[in-house]
Amino acid sequence: MASTHEQRAAYRKIIYFVVILLLFTGSLLHRKFINAQADDLILRDVGRGKADLTSSTVRLTLSGARGVAVTSLWLAAQERQKKHEWNELEVIVDSLTHLQPRFVSPWLYQGWNLAFNVSVECDRVRDKYYYITRGITLLCRGEEKNDPGQAVPPRPWPADPQMRFEIGHTYQFKIGQSDENKTLRCLFDMSCIPLSERNPDQFYTQGKQIDFEKFKTFCENHPRLVRRLRERLVGFEQPQAIIGFLTDNKDIPGRVEDRRQADRLAEFPILPPQDSKSPHAYPDWRTASLATANEDFDTFICGRAWFTYAQIPLPEPGKEKDYDRLKHRLPRPTTVIFRAYPAHGQANFAEELQKDGWFDDSGWDIRGKLGNSASGPAILVGASGRYNSGDAWSKAHDLYRYYGLRNDLYFEPAELKKLQQELRRGSKTALEILAKYDYYRGLTNFSDHFQKTQVEQTQEAVAARKAIFEVEHTAAADPNAINIYRDTVLPQWLDLLLRHPEFHKIETIQSESYELQAKYFKLLQFYNKGLPEKVVIGAAYAAPVFPMPGALVPLGDPNIARTIVYWNGTGELPGAMPPLSDPDGKFSAAWPKGVLTEGGGRKGAKVLYLREVEGLFDQLYVMDNL
């Protein structure tokens, strides 16, 4: 028989077991209420983004030592970067992000560090491109880890708009606008092409000769890449060089060809997931081709997609000071500036289309340009709406209009007139609206962006841009280029400026107008060796102080009081210097009498008024005998 002491011990054990069982059962019953409150306060790890079992296991194992481990890894990462040990740096950065998955700053810093700092330490462009892709991939992983909408199951809480913005900014700035953007954009285009289509071996026959039919098919499918390589980079005029570029860079990060096995973060370029709350559509990463029949795909469209995705967590315009923080989040920059980036991305895309030589649906004639015969009918590639810059500018204008209407930066003319009338009657509401209207239009430079896209989308603007491109890239080495400038390019550009007064007041357009004149003057000087350089410089910078018949630019400096002119009927070449004296009347007989004015004077006389700014360049004229 057990002793009294043993019986008491057994009773205590039974009591302890029952109490533990009750507490455990109670905690299970109460967990759903605790979980609900934790969800409301966004405290649960699984609800803050996509969970990672490996990361969670490591963090739980380290427990309180995690801070020491993180500090050591940060120091080790800095040392590896100083020693240019890039592979080891990547491993350490990966470990850091596993230990701090819910902190945004490590993702932002290390992603930026790889894309901007590490990449520039490399000599070869493809190595720079690799580390840019690694930085972007790291940012995308961090965005996924900190997006409650990508948790399992998805939560309705807001993500961090800054993470999404930085991804778009890296695509646009580091690949699209950096010093080596031409090569980087070619590599980006290659990443978008399935490996089977860009495999260089397919372009050679068994005798190691180029199969021009297959190469022609590649040009038809990817004309923008081929044209940029040939016309904007040096040494890629022949098919062998272009195929060599594909060979040298065949191992760059790219897309998975079988879309059924694709993982969004395991390929490049990385696009955001589709979201029904997005204010604008963007390419779906699950599709085989990221381009559509009406729009090509490049790094600026990819950036625009992330900028658009970054708009989703923002509160409604006008409610930035009083919003539900469990439903919305604000970015670091001024919110009204942040909201403009989708439109900026589209405008950059349209501008780059024109820099690459794509203006309308006429395409690019590759006859005689890529090792094929220069005779016979035209071989057009890219003759589709996908490369129409007018349509791209039109979409940019629509995005700016949407942005302006949503943020009170743009009012329809009738509505604006009504507000101004109410202001004159003393309305305080109208005063507040118009004060905000003026302030934020100045802060965002909205007027210039809106006016620029409004004009650039027109057929006249596209035609003028195309004429400028052709004379600069096609006829630059032709002595007749002077005549092309005189007879086509300058009048066409002038007509566009005169039709749209607000357009020619934009600072960038004024700079372009000046550069256009400077290129023309440079050609005049090149093909007229006796033309003093100081006269050309003076003509480009001087303000007119007196009228002179036939003067290209009336000069105010008495030390260079000559005029640059050209004329017809004197037997002289276009651009030749007129004599300081005209004893036989040869010049005066050929030139119209009287001071030349726009729309007046003798037939054929025209003033090309190409610049209107304050200061040194004020009222610079080009007077021409057209």
Unique residue bearing structure tokens 């990449």: 119
pLDDT given at position 550: 38
Mean pLDDT over each residue of the chain, to the nearest integer: 82
CA separation for the pair 147, 164 (Å, rounded): 10
Give the separation between CA 458 and CA 495, rounded to whole angstroms: 13
- Least confident among 10-24, 134-148, 476-490: 476-490
Name the pLDDT band for 552 (thresholds 50, 70, 90).
very low
pTM passes above 0.85: no
Examine the pLDDT at 553 and tell me if it is beyond 60.
no
The pLDDT tens digits for 117-127 are 999 999 999 99
* Banded pLDDT at 41 (limits 50, 70, 90): low
Residue 609: band (very low, low, confident or very high) from pLDDT cuts 50, 70, 90: very low
* pLDDT level of residue 585 (50, 70, 90 thresholds): low
Question: Binning pLDDT at 50, 70 and 90, where does residue 586 land?
Answer: low
Domain spans of the chain?
A: 10-44
CA 136, chain centre distance (Å):
15
pLDDT for residue 310? 96
How many Cα atoms sit within 13 Å of 288 on the Cβ side? 7
Reported confidence tier of residue 181, pLDDT bands at 50, 70, 90:
very high
The band of 536, judged by pLDDT with boundaries at 50, 70 and 90, is very low
Query: Across residues 376-385, what is the average pLDDT?
Result: 88
**Segment 358-369, tens digit of pLDDT:** 999 999 999 888
Q: Quick one: average pLDDT of 537-546?
A: 43
78-89 average pLDDT score: 92
Top-confidence residue, 544 or 263: 263
pLDDT class of 554 with cuts at 50, 70, 90: very low
Determine the number of helices (DSSP H) and then strands (DSSP E) in the chain.
Answer: 26, 4
Confidence of residue 37 (pLDDT cuts 50, 70, 90): confident
In the structure, what pLDDT confidence band is assigned to residue 529 with cuts at 50, 70 and 90? low
Percentage of the chain modeled with pLDDT above 90: 52
Whether 455 shows a pLDDT value over 90: the answer reads yes
pLDDT at 605 over 90: no
Residue 71 has a pLDDT of 92
Q: What number of CA atoms fall less than 13 Å from residue 451's CA on the CB side?
A: 18
Residues 56-76 have a mean pLDDT of 87
Q: Which pLDDT value is given to residue 7?
A: 82
DSSP class of 254: -
SS3 annotation, 341-361:
HHHHHHHHHHHHHHHCCCCCC
Dihedrals phi, psi of 301, to nearest 5 degrees = -70, -35
| Res 389 pLDDT > 70 | yes
